[in-house]
């Protein structure tokens, strides 16, 4: 600590009380009432640390407006809402929680895939409508015969692939347009067209970047098998949602499960709300009690940096 003057720490989104209490052991903590850009801008001119979670965008303007800023922390497994180049220009540390919610999110993706693959929502609705015997024909395949496709390779995708291989001996195919690779051998690396054309179950794991905007567009969705199901627990912007709604209505794929949307909450009149065989959830894939406990470990890295120690989970900043 600099003499008797405490560090100034700004927390722009709700954090666990335990994390706030920990931060208060080394400095003065301001918890903002909202994470609007102007609110953050007004709070950061004299802060040493800025902590965000999932909604706040730490832009170059915010970073340049905080001349004393030493560390930006995001209580999330990704850092796509932080301008890393602006942080690098100022030699500001960026820390995050790369393993937070990985297991929770992978398990949620598996739940969506299993429900869609075995048509559980359809059966539930039909039974409630009075149908029974007419539903009892053979349908679907055992998961050991279904090919899991992973579009994008991140820790969640890797964990999901391992779970499918371990539990069901499912064949795993994967393709990453950004060149990311699994930490260990995981299934077969294929091209994009082969992935889309051969996956019975497709799980999307792409970050929000300019090159991934609407990556799954109408043309690529049309390459999926009519019996395939798709889930997205990564970022809403990577999927053309209007095109997906059209594909579902035309029967170009058997079902979709979506936990993320480019605009959240989902607009009331969006056509995906009326698309058949589509499960919609409110961005909760990683929201378990266990993940919440892990999420706020970034507070410890903030303390480490401010007190002159090396962080445990630093983000890699771009050069130059």
For tokens 């699994």, what's the residue? Answer: 182
What is the distance between the alpha carbons of residues 303 and 283, in angstroms, rounded to a whole number? 30
Quickly state the pLDDT bin for 5 (edges 50, 70, 90). low
For residue range 206-260, what is the model confidence (pLDDT) as tens digits? 999 899 999 999 999 999 999 999 999 999 999 999 999 999 999 999 999 999 9
Give the pairing type, strands 172-175 and 71-74: unpaired
**Of the candidates 224, 239, 250, 251, which has an alpha carbon nearest to the alpha carbon of residue 280?**
239
Those residues whose C-beta lies under 8 Å from the C-beta of residue 16, and which sit 6 or more positions away, are 292, 293, 295, 296
User: Residue 213 has which token pair?
Assistant: 């905007």
User: What Rg do the C-alpha atoms of the chain give, in angstroms?
Assistant: 22
User: Residue 278 has which token pair?
Assistant: 């589509």
What is the distance between the alpha carbons of residues 190 and 287, in angstroms, rounded to a whole number? 32
CB 44 within 8 A of CB 71: no
Q: If you average pLDDT over every residue of the chain, what do you get?
A: 94
**Of the candidates 235, 180, 242, 244, which has an alpha carbon nearest to the alpha carbon of residue 212?**
235
In sequence order, which ranges of 33-154 are alpha helices (DSSP H)?
Answer: 37-43, 60-64, 84-89, 102-117, 120-128
Is the pLDDT score of 142 beyond 90?
A: yes
| Strand arrangement of the beta sheet that strand 49-52 belongs to | 27-31, 7-11, 49-52, 71-74, 93-96
CB 196 within 8 A of CB 220: yes
Is the pLDDT score of 2 beyond 50?
A: no
What is the distance between the alpha carbons of residues 102 and 160, in angstroms, rounded to a whole number? 9
For residue range 78-137, what is the model confidence (pLDDT) as tens digits? 888 899 999 999 999 999 988 888 999 999 999 999 999 999 999 999 999 999 998 888
- pTM for the model: 0.80
Q: Measured between alpha carbons, how far apart are the two ends of the chain, in Å?
A: 30
Quickly state the pLDDT bin for 4 (edges 50, 70, 90). low
The catalytic residues are 235, 264, 283
Give the chain's domains with CATH numbers: 7-100+290-306 (3.40.50.720), 102-280 (3.40.50.720)
For residue range 163-182, what is the model confidence (pLDDT) as tens digits? 999 999 999 999 999 999 99
User: Is the bond into 265 cis (omega within 30 degrees of 0)?
Assistant: yes
Which residues are paired to 189 by β-bridges?
174
For tokens 């890295």, what's the residue? Answer: 301
For residue range 184-213, what is the model confidence (pLDDT) as tens digits? 889 999 999 999 999 999 999 999 989 999
CB 317 within 8 A of CB 39: no
């Amino acid at each position: 600590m600099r003499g008797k003057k405490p560090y100034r720490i700004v927390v722009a989104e709700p954090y666990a009380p335990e994390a706030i209490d920990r931060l208060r052991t080394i400095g003065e903590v301001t918890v903002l009432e909202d994470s609007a850009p102007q609110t953050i801008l007004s709070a950061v001119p004299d802060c040493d640390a800025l902590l965000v979670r999932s909604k706040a965008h730490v832009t170059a303007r915010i970073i340049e407006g905080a001349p004393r800023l030493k560390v930006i922390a995001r209580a999330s497994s990704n850092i796509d809402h932080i301008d890393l180049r602006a942080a690098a220009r100022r030699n500001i540390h960026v820390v995050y929680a790369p393993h937070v919610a990985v297991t929770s999110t992978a398990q949620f993706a598996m739940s969506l895939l299993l429900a869609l693959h075995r048509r559980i929502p359809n059966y539930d609705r039909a039974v409630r409508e009075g149908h029974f015997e007419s539903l009892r024909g053979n349908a679907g395949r055992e998961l050991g015969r279904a090919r899991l496709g992973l579009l994008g390779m991140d820790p969640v995708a890797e964990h999901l692939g391992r779970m499918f291989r371990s539990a069901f001996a499912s064949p795993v195919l994967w393709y990453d347009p950004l060149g990311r690779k699994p930490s260990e051998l995981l299934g077969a690396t294929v091209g994009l067209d082969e992935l889309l054309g051969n996956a019975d179950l497709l799980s999307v794991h792409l970050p929000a970047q300019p090159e991934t905007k609407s990556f799954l567009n109408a043309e690529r969705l049309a390459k999926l098998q009519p019996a395939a199901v798709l889930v997205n627990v990564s970022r809403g912007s990577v999927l053309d949602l209007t095109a997906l709604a059209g594909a579902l209505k035309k029967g170009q794929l058997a079902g979709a499960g979506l936990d993320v949307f480019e605009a959240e909450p989902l607009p009331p009149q969006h056509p995906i709300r009326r698309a058949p065989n589509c499960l919609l959830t409110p961005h909760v894939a990683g929201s378990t009690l266990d993940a919440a406990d892990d999420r706020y470990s970034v507070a410890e890295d903030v303390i480490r940096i401010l007190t002159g120690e090396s962080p445990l989970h630093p983000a890699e900043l771009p050069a130059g």
